[in-house]
Amino acid sequence: MKNSGDPANRSLTASPDFPTVETRPVAALIRSLRPRQWTKNLIVFFGLIFGEQLRNPEAVVRATLAFAIFCALSGVVYLINDIRDREADRMHPVKSRRPIASGAVGVEAAGLTALLIGAAAIAGAFVLTPAFGAVAVAYLTLLTLYSAWLKHIVILDVITLAAGFVLRAYAGAVAIDVEFSHWLLLLTLLSALFLALSKRRAELITLADDAKGHRRSLAEYSPYLLDQMIGVVTACTLLAYAFYTIDDETVLKFGTDALLWTVPFPLYGIFRYLYLVHQREGGGDPSETLLTDRPILLCVALWGLAVIWILYGPRR
């Protein structure tokens, strides 16, 4: 019988992505791909929805394949990131539970898995369309550079993360060959910046004096500076969305200006998120916050339903 005091058998404090030190290699490897974080790739479907292709079965299938490919690419990026950051992660109160940092997954196994999944995903992307494949390569290259270098450069770190979301959104449009509004690309950039800056603020508060040791760029930030940046991005995001809903091109394309009535949803969602960041010390994991905070989850669901009803419902 194994000793209950054996480190391999001791549980760590619960965490959504890394609840325990996983002793089963395959399960630990799957957890290293962070499937809970793949919700970020739902933005791939924006091209399908706003390109008015939701009733097109072929477009739905292609968009779904694009989503699956980006989930695989995201998993590869997480593996690369965790391999490079395993020493720093061991000093973090939550990231130390990651399978690679905890030793549950070996570096060689993680590297080989990243290579195989990455090659398969890129090959699949080019099979879908060459243009989509090019965007997939750009995404993987950019996020690999982020893990290796850009994450340590102040301001460029959050811009790079936001650019990754823009590439996801653009890839979704390319996969089904529809035009994607410049307004929506701008909105994607701004909303992703908002989440990235909020995450940096949460990291800074959580790590306190250990922030510099965990990531060099954190030493260049302060809560005050991040609050100023978040304030600017918040205002720009809400204004950009409002202008998009009443833009002549938008009204002409959809044949209605009713999207203006959806503005209260992002308004509430952003304010709710700011409340969680400032009053509940949240924001450290945007994906988890968006999935577990019921008011935000309901807000996103209602916004999605409202948009689909306006774009696809009966018109007067």
Q: What is the DSSP string of 179-194?
A: ---HHHHHHHHHHHHH
User: How many structural domains comprise the chain?
Assistant: 2
Is 186 found in the same domain as 302?
yes
Alpha-carbon distance 97 to 103, whole Å?
A: 9
* Section 262-285 average pLDDT: 88
**What pLDDT is attached to residue 4?**
39
Is 240 found in the same domain as 258?
yes
Asked if the structure places residue 49 within a domain, the reply is: yes
CB-based contacts of 305: which residues, under 8 Å, 6+ apart?
none
Is 306 found in the same domain as 187?
yes
Is 70 exceeded by the pLDDT of residue 211? no
Alpha-carbon distance 49 to 62, whole Å?
A: 13
Is 272 found in the same domain as 161?
no
Domain that holds residue 227: 181-316
Cβ-contact 238, 266 below 8 angstroms: yes
**What pLDDT is attached to residue 55?**
92
Is 90 exceeded by the pLDDT of residue 252? yes
CATH number of 113's domain: 1.10.357.140
The residue ranking higher by pLDDT, 133 or 25, is 133
Asked if the structure places residue 155 within a domain, the reply is: yes
Asked if the structure places residue 270 within a domain, the reply is: yes
Is 192 found in the same domain as 59?
no
Which secondary-structure segment (H or E) carries 278? helix 264-279
Is 90 exceeded by the pLDDT of residue 27? no
Is 80 exceeded by the pLDDT of residue 191? yes
The residue ranking higher by pLDDT, 233 or 208, is 233
Asked if the structure places residue 10 within a domain, the reply is: no
Asked if the structure places residue 152 within a domain, the reply is: yes
Cβ-contact 45, 184 below 8 angstroms: no
Angle, vertex CA 181, rays to CA 251 and CA 252, nearest 5:
20
Is 297 found in the same domain as 172?
no
Is 228 found in the same domain as 120?
no
Is 60 exceeded by the pLDDT of residue 311? yes
Model confidence at 25, in pLDDT bands (50, 70, 90)? Answer: confident
Residue-wise over 249-287: b if at least 16 C-beta within 10 A, else e?
ebeeebebebbeebbebbbbbbebbbebbbeeebbbbbb
Is 143 found in the same domain as 261?
no
**What pLDDT is attached to residue 209?**
60
Alpha-carbon distance 133 to 280, whole Å?
A: 41
What region does 56 belong to: left with phi over 0, alpha with psi -120 to 50, or beta?
Answer: beta
Asked if the structure places residue 50 within a domain, the reply is: yes
Alpha-carbon distance 46 to 10, whole Å?
A: 43
Is 212 found in the same domain as 162?
no
Last residue of a domain, one of 118, 153, 180: 180
Last residue of a domain, one of 147, 180, 213: 180
Is 196 found in the same domain as 176?
no
**What pLDDT is attached to residue 264?**
96
Is 70 exceeded by the pLDDT of residue 12? no
Model confidence at 238, in pLDDT bands (50, 70, 90)? Answer: very high
| Residue in 174, 181, 299, 186 with CA at minimum distance from that of residue 233 | 186
Last residue of a domain, one of 151, 180, 209: 180
**What pLDDT is attached to residue 74?**
95
Instruction: Please tell me the pTM assigned to this model.
Output: 0.85
**What pLDDT is attached to residue 78?**
92
Q: What is the CB-side half-sphere exposure of residue 179 using CA atoms within 13 A?
A: 6
The residue ranking higher by pLDDT, 58 or 85, is 58
Asked if the structure places residue 2 within a domain, the reply is: no
Is 90 exceeded by the pLDDT of residue 128? yes
Q: List own/partner pairs for 126-134 with CB under 8 A and 24 or more apart.
A: 128/62, 128/65, 128/66, 128/69, 128/175, 129/174, 129/175, 129/177, 131/174, 132/66, 132/171, 132/174, 132/175
Is 154 found in the same domain as 203?
no
Asked if the structure places residue 86 within a domain, the reply is: yes
Model confidence at 29, in pLDDT bands (50, 70, 90)? Answer: confident
Is 198 found in the same domain as 129?
no
